[in-house]
Structure 1
Amino acid sequence: MYILDLTRELYNAALQERRDAWRKAGKSVALYEQMRLLGEVKAARPEYREVYAQVLQETLKRLDRAFQGFFSRLKRGEKPGYPRFKGRGWWDSFTFPQVVRGGCWVGPGKPLGNGKVKVPGVGHVRMKQHRPLEGVPKTFSIKRSAGCWYAVYVCEVQVQPLPPSENAVGIDLGLSHFVATSEGETFAPPKAYRKAEARLKRTQRSLSKKRRASNRRRKLKERLARQHRKVANQRRDFHHKLARKLVNQYGTIVHEDLNTSGLARSRLAKGVLDAGWASFISILSAKAASAGRRVVAVRPHGTSQICPECGSIRKKELSERIHACGCGCVLDRDVAAAKVILALGLDGALGDGQRVAASA
């Protein structure tokens, strides 16, 4: 779509302007200074007149957000990551930032009721609408992913809290069980990547043998992207369904505050990334907030070594999957850890009234 090329070109030109201004004069170019020059851009390049004005403004805001992220990371002492120029393969969406004004739809992205959607600058485009829109649409984006085009709506909806619940649960995240609850329930990991790994490997091997810039390489690249998209969709679907089940059932959910970025650099990296714990916790927290539920994070250190009944510490190897304590407590290792996590997230009391320190 030519709008993608024009917005990408505008982003790169605005980035070059900021770089040159700082390098030559030590001056920072503000967002609104660049937005005021859009009229001159349209005069010099008539093709930009056909692009919806707010799409061009949103492109410049996108660059400004990239610089804000750069400066905030710099202040925190993290790796800053200076904004980069976007090549054709790294610019896949444009956004109409305001679709409803004063309670009325002002044009961009309005479903027409005949299986089509109105896209300014493009016309009426056929769309397969998966479900009716809820709430008030705020933005409308056109996104390209793995050779397919998507219409993405961001809507503002009213919070719909669930009935209050006194039920509380601790959950232990792992690789043998994706989630083990303090109630003794376990959920197997989806292993979406593991199941597709052989197919992905074959496609990647074929892709590496194709001549660069050839049509066969382009088609194989799209096929590989579709396969990766399917893996991501399967993982995300599992996360959403499990998070919804937990939020509907419990009023308080306690989980470990895992250092997933650190674990992703260990020998367990492939399994950790395939499980997607950080994504699951993010989805769980969002669903809990909208439903009026509470999510509590506790330190993970030592939770699998503590007995949930007597509070004694029993060192176990990673391969040891059963917790057996001298007090007579015999449980699945992950279920035992989930009970300890629940105690840490609530009042710290274990099964027989013993207490576990929050730093355990």
Structure 2
Amino acid sequence: MTDARVEKEYILPAGLKFPNEVSQLNALPRAKKEFPRLGEVPSQVLQQTIKQLHTAWEGFQKRGFGFPRFKKHGQFKSLLFPQFKECPITGFHLKLPKLEPISINLHRSIPDGFVVKQVRIIKKADRWYASISIQCDVSVPNPMPHGHPIGVDVGLEKFLATSDGVLVQPPKFFVTMQGRLKVLQRRLSRKLRRSKNYEKQRLKVARMHHTIDNTRKDFHFKQAHALCNDAGMVFMEDLDYRISAKGFLGKHMLDAGFGQFRSITEYVCWKRGVFFAQVDARGTSQECPECGAVHKKDLSVRIHCCLECGFTTDRDVASGQVIRNRGIALISTDGQSGIESACADDLPGVGVTQSRQVSKPGKGKTRKVQS
């Protein structure tokens, strides 16, 4: 009896050299003659797919884990067009090789002086997105420490607490929509795989996941902008949230998306000229922000009351103040202090902007969410 794996898996003969990236790229013309359908795909897209495969393989060899998985039907959801002779965007249409002009919802026009370097087409649920990378020969300096500092502590009971006393309740997008998602997934499990009804129901489940993801990301961006409105410097904890996501509160940790929120906050701070830094997270909830005394507290204790100086405040606010103090101490070292203006007035396609040296004091206007 023949093993099914021998018939389905791609097995190399023992004496054949392992194919490298160059050999597989050179084999593409022969593969197009053997499989005519490959000729319908732009050649550069096929080349980028091979390069992506070998990048994953080299990463697996360096790390020792993460073997590249075969992309079965419906899993390969992005195409990369790496270069263009001329701008592919004309009005509200996108022109890609071997395709007719595609009407798009252009969020913003390409600024003067920028050129389109590459376009990645991404499929999410039943929707298609075009991620356009543009380039301009300018140098944008990183923001320097200046203005009003705030420390941000994130957690499950309160999504974030700032050193200024602003508290934001966790919205819990996944937990809120979990009931509807459970119904859709139950209906999907009862459909015949690869049938038309199965594909229709699968798209409904994918749309629900896409809605949850978009809603969470929108919330993160709004909170990041609200933090930048009130500060010139933002400090957060240097934590690996992937470890916390493996515990018994993993679902709630993934629902909050703290890692994504920190990355978005760092990006928004850079874009708006606000200094961003990460500080050591050890003992931020046990230390007093006023006198520096350390007192062990259980998670059930939600009020910080220092036995040395008598300072009393919310536990999460105290943690934010400790993060702020550590951030200020971090930038107080030689070569870190000072103020630098980094206006973007001279960049192509940029209108009137506010100097990064100007900073508003914290007014506690961070967007709040009703619990």
List per-residue Cα deviations over 1:306-339 (Å, max 9, x = no partner): 1111222233221222212232312111000111
The one-letter code sitting in structure 1 at the alignment partner of 2:214 is N
Q: 1:256·1:299 contact (CA, 8 Å) conserved in 2?
A: yes
Name the counterpart of 2:43: 53
Distance 1:47 1:285 in 2: 44
Change (3 A) 1:25 1:291: farther
Distance 1:211 1:136 in 2: 48
Structure 1 pair 162–325 and aligned structure 2 pair: CA distance change class (3 A): closer
1:312/1:140 CA distance change after superposition, 3 Å = same
Shift of 1:160: 7.7
Choose from 247, 250, 254 the match for 2:231: 250
Q: 1:275 aligns with which of 248, 251, 256?
A: 256
Question: Is this contact kept in 1: 2:304–2:318, CA < 8 A?
Answer: yes
**Partner of residue 310, structure 1:** 291
- Inter-partner Cα distance in structure 2 for 1:320 and 1:308: 17
- The two structures have a TM-score, normalised by structure 2, of 0.78
Counterpart Cα distance in 2 of 1:164 and 1:280: 21
Deviates more, 1:276-285 or 1:115-124: 115-124
Counterpart position of 2:97: 120
- Measure how far apart 1:117 and its partner are: 2.0
Which of 86, 98, 104 is the matching residue for 2:83?
98
Q: CA deviation at 1:291?
A: 4.5
Contact 1:304–1:333 (8 Å) recurs in 2: yes
Count, aligned residues: 319
Alignment-derived partner of residue 58 in structure 2? 68
TM-score, with structure 1 as normaliser: 0.80
CA contact (8 A) 2:303 2:315 kept: yes
Residue 154 of structure 1 and its aligned partner are, at CA, apart by 2.1
- Where in structure 1 are there 5+ consecutive unaligned residues? 1-12, 75-79, 349-360
Q: Which has the higher contact order (CA 8 A, sep 6+)?
A: 2
Q: Cα deviations across residues 159-213 of structure 1 (Å, max 9, x unaligned)?
A: 4877973322111011122111111112222311121111111111222222223
Which residue of the partner structure matches residue 9 of structure 1?
none
Counterpart amino acid of residue 343 in structure 1: N
Residues 138, 156 of structure 1: 8 Å contact kept: yes
Instruction: Say whether residues 1:36 and 2:26 are aligned partners.
Output: yes
Of the candidates 99, 108, 111, which is equivalent to residue 131 of structure 1?
Answer: 108
Q: Which amino acid aligns with 1:345?
A: G
Pick the aligned partner of 2:123 from 144, 147, 150: 144
What amino acid does structure 1 have at the position aligned with 2:251? K
Are the equivalent residues in 1 in contact too, given 2:145–2:233 (CA < 8 A)? no
Aligned-partner SS, 1:88: coil
Aligned match of 1:285 = 266
Alpha-carbon spacing, 1:245–1:162, altered in 2? closer, same or farther (3 Å): farther
Counterpart position of 1:7: none
Instruction: State how far apart, in whole Å, the 2-side matches of 1:47 and 1:39 are.
Output: 12
Q: Which of the numbers 210, 223, 230 marks the counterpart of 2:204? A: 223
Query: Greater helix share, 1 or 2?
Result: 1
Q: Which of 153, 166, 182 is the matching residue for 2:147? A: 166
Q: Provide the C-alpha distance between the structure 2 equivalents of 1:315 and 1:55, rounded to a whole number of angstroms.
A: 57
Moved more, 304-313 or 156-165: 156-165
Which stretch has the larger CA shift, 57-66 or 143-152?
A: 143-152
Structure 2 residue runs without a partner (length 5+): 1-7, 331-371
Q: Which residue number corresponds to residue 323 of structure 2?
A: 341
Q: Quote how far apart the aligned CAs of 1:290 are.
A: 4.2
